[in-house]
Amino acid sequence: MIQNILVAIGDTPHEQNAFEYAGHLAALLDAHLSCVYFADERHLGQEDIAARVFDNTESVLAEFEFLSAHGDTITGNPVRNLCDKAHTADLVVVGIPESIKTRGLRLIHDNIDDILSRITKPTIVVHEQCTVLQKILTIHRGDTASDHVLELAAELAKRAEASLFSLALADTQIRAAEISGQMREYLQYYQVETEFRAQLGFTVTNILNTATEEDCDLIALSASHHGRLYEMIFQDATEMVVKFADRAVLVTR
């Protein structure tokens, strides 16, 4: 059950948007919000940046009545510190700049890849234009990791009063239909408005097109099944969805 949401805050537009998204989500779920500024060594002696970040944080938090929250600063390696701090939370929220889609070869490996390959807690990656949570696209590939995705998506939908669009993906239509049937049976006790679809192939295009066609605000799917070395050379479909989506993406193991 989600009781504590950790959000990485900062002074960039994508970090500020992630913070506002996390605030709205915490309010919807009646969860505590842990706001942490992960400063690296370059920020040592630049207290004005941290002060500006926390001034903005406090002003935004003031808009959320009865929201339980606190702020903190951790200095060091931001990626490592975020992944370590994630052990204290149920859900992590981070922002991603839209410029990641136009970085050419830099798209192959980025800090978000390091975070997703190391972090052990469910993580929502927020694009700059994401603000609401009304419909969740849930991806299931028929494995245990996808079961965890479905469990978390169902909890989010129920507590946030959102709907689900459950997409079963497999190599054969028969297997996809079986997965869809299992999803339907699992969700029957959640009293959440749900639509179901079975399709062939776990592809980036399949997922992004479905999210657009069904007007989903959040895509929920499992993390890469490959090791970190593989991900530094190649791109897994999950990482590509995270980077090319124009909506928030929930990644869980």
Least confident of 25-29, 37-41, 163-167, 230-234: 230-234
Residue 42 has pLDDT above 90, yes or no: no
71-91: per-residue pLDDT in tens?
888 888 889 999 999 999 999
Helix or strand (DSSP H, E) at 221: strand 218-222
Q: How far apart are CA 95 and CA 93, in angstroms?
A: 7
Asked if residue 140 and residue 229 are part of one domain, the reply reads yes
User: Strands 123-126 and 248-252, how do they pair?
Assistant: antiparallel
Among residues 133, 135, 111, 107, the alpha carbon closest in space to that of 14 is found at 111
Residue 239's domain comprises 135-252
Lookup result for tokens 């997703």: 116
Q: Domain with 25 in it: what CATH number?
A: 3.40.50.620
Q: Are residues 111 and 166 in the same domain?
A: no
Confidence class of residue 108 from pLDDT cuts 50, 70 and 90?
A: very low
Place of tokens 């066609």: 213
Cβ neighbours for 223, distance < 8 A, ≥ 6 positions apart: 116, 117, 145, 238, 251, 252, 253
* Whole-prediction pTM: 0.90
* Together in a domain, 18 and 115: yes
**Domain final residue pick, 126, 151, 179:** 126
pLDDT of residue 186: 96
Q: Are residues 159 and 230 in the same domain?
A: yes
User: With bands split at pLDDT 50, 70 and 90, how would you rate the model's confidence at 230?
Assistant: very low
Asked if 144 and 120 sit in the same domain, the reply is no
Last residue of a domain, one of 81, 108, 126: 126
| Per-residue pLDDT tens digits for 55-73 | 888 888 888 878 999 988 8
246's enclosing H/E stretch is none
Q: What is the pLDDT of residue 170?
A: 93
Contact 83, 116 (CB under 8 A): no
Check whether residue 14 and residue 113 sit in a common domain: yes
Does the pLDDT at position 173 exceed 80? yes
Same domain, 167 and 93: no
Q: Are 137 and 220 within 8 A, CB to CB?
A: yes
Residues 26 and 81 in one domain: yes
> DSSP state, 31?
-
Only one residue has tokens 């990626």, namely 79
Partnered with residue 6 across adjacent β-strands are 34, 92
24 & 117 share domain: yes
How far apart are alpha carbons 124 and 154 in whole angstroms? 15
The domain tally of the chain equals: 2
106 and 148 inside one domain: no
Q: Based on the domain organization, do 12 and 118 belong to the same domain?
A: yes
Residue 40 confidence class, pLDDT cut points 50, 70, 90: confident
% residues pLDDT > 90 (the chain): 58
pLDDT-derived band at 229 (thresholds 50, 70, 90) equals: very low
pLDDT computed for residue 232 by the predictor: 46
Of 72, 106, 126, which marks where a domain is finished? 126
Question: Other C-beta atoms within 10 Å of 70: how many?
Answer: 10
User: Do residue 142 and residue 78 come from a single domain?
Assistant: no
